[in-house]
Amino acid sequence: MSANTGAGQPRTESTVEPLLVRVEEAARILSLSRSTIYEMMDAGELPSVRRGTARRIPVAALRAWVAHQTGQS
């Protein structure tokens, strides 16, 4: 959505790609189950960040995992 800044220049809202995603989002992105994602994190196959009880997975780690699995690393 854009708005006029009053100086004749339209302002555009830029979208920011998330750096971290929830387990459910990671499961959807990789087309895997939530339990598989938790198993991968517990095994150290997929890194995660903890903040209290919340766990988040870096999007870069998801890309790296796919690259490794497809031999593109």
**Structural domain that includes position 30:** 19-69
* Domain contains 54: yes
Phi, psi of 47 (to 5 degrees): -70, 155
Q: Is the residue at 27 inside a domain?
A: yes
For the chain, what is the domain count?
Answer: 1
Residue 42 lies in a domain: yes
Beta partners for residue 55, in sequence order: 50
67, two tokens: 């690259």
Q: Is residue 44 part of a domain?
A: yes
The more confidently predicted of residues 5 and 49 is: 49
13-69 residue pLDDT tens:
779 989 999 999 999 999 999 999 999 999 999 999 999 999 999 999 999 999 999
- Quick one: tokens of 72? 């593109």
Q: The whole model's pTM is what? A: 0.75
Q: Does residue 8 belong to any structural domain of this protein?
A: no
Calculate the CA 31 to chain-centre distance: 13
pLDDT of residue 14: 78
Q: How many CA atoms lie within 13 A of 27 on its CB side?
A: 13
